[in-house]
Amino acid sequence: MKQESTAQKAPPASPPPSPPAQHPRDDSDPQALWIFGYGSLVWRPDFAYSDSRVGFVRGYSRRFWQGDTFHRGSDKMPGRVVTLLEDHEGCTWGVAYQVQGEQVSEALKYLNVREAVLGGYDTKEVTFYPQDTPDQPLKALAYVATPQNPGYLGPAPEEAIATQILACRGFSGHNLEYLLRLADFMQLCGPQAQDEHLEAIVDAVGTMLPCFCPTEQALALV
């Protein structure tokens, strides 16, 4: 995944809430679809796409509140992965991928298994602001885990989340790798990209592992 410029840009004012939609389309190309990733999709989309852009969505905060019994955990020891929480003051950074033509159906088929069947996520339409052109927002599809799904774990102290992350592993790897890759992505986005919840969990891991260095650990995993 190519990294975009990290030049700081002032985010636009929060857009009005949009009604949910299953398949938002790119107005400039009715056959295209943008998909917003804010968790493992930022480093491992695993589907074919035509374009990708780093940027953010307004009105949501990222939280490690979804349980994962497949990718980063097990039935006995669920891992912790991220979802989006509606938050009027929130801002979540991630990557939007554009899929076109046959890529659309293939991507949705793949993500339905990865995110919905195995992950417990539903789809939601969001407004995505590219980092380089925030004055040209895009409608995008995002996968969001809500409290209604059986894997939802909900809030917990960052120290407790860190302890759970350190103990869990799934078919996609250790839960700690997931945390560090996401932290590394946020660093690459630049100082304007902030996620206090994520930073607090990384800090908590650091207190539990005295020799732990978040930056070096994360870069070593890329």
User: How many Cβ atoms are within 10 Å of 47's Cβ, its own excluded?
Assistant: 17
Q: How far apart are the first and last CA of the chain?
A: 11
Quote the pLDDT of residue 178: 98
Q: What is the mean pLDDT of residues 16-30?
A: 51
Q: In the chain, what percentage of residues exceed pLDDT 90? A: 77
Torsion angle of C-alpha atoms 139, 91, 208, 178, degrees rounded to 10: 10
Quote the pLDDT of residue 40: 97
pLDDT in tens, 108-123: 999 999 999 999 999 9
Quote the pLDDT of residue 212: 57
pLDDT in tens, 154-200: 999 999 999 999 999 999 999 999 999 999 999 999 999 999 999 99
- Active-site residue list: 115
Classified by CATH at the fold level, domain 23-213 comes out as Hypothetical upf0131 protein ytfp (3.10.490)
User: How many Cβ atoms are within 10 Å of 111's Cβ, its own excluded?
Assistant: 23
**Token pair of 177, please?**
């790798």
> How far is Cα 80 from Cα 144, in angstroms, rounded to an integer?
14
Long-range interactions of 160-164: CB distance < 8 A, separation 24+: 161/64, 161/80, 161/201, 161/204, 162/201, 162/204, 162/205, 162/208, 163/204, 163/208, 164/78, 164/79, 164/80
> How far is Cα 208 from Cα 52, in angstroms, rounded to an integer?
36
Q: In whole numbers, what is the pLDDT of the chain averaged over residues?
A: 86
Quote the pLDDT of residue 27: 53
Quote the pLDDT of residue 4: 40
Q: What is the mean pLDDT of residues 58-74?
A: 97
CA distances from 98 to 50, 52, 112, 139, 193 (A): 6, 6, 17, 11, 22
Closest CA to 26 of 157, 162, 140: 140
Assess contact for 110 and 124: CB atoms under 8 A. Answer: no
Quote the pLDDT of residue 209: 84
Q: What is the mean pLDDT of residues 133-146?
A: 96
Amino acid at 123: T
Quote the pLDDT of residue 31: 79
Q: What is the mean pLDDT of residues 73-93?
A: 97
Assess contact for 8 and 191: CB atoms under 8 A. Answer: yes
pTM of the predicted model over 0.85: no
Which residues 6+ apart lie within 8 Å of 207 measured at CB? Answer: 159
User: How many Cβ atoms are within 10 Å of 67's Cβ, its own excluded?
Assistant: 23
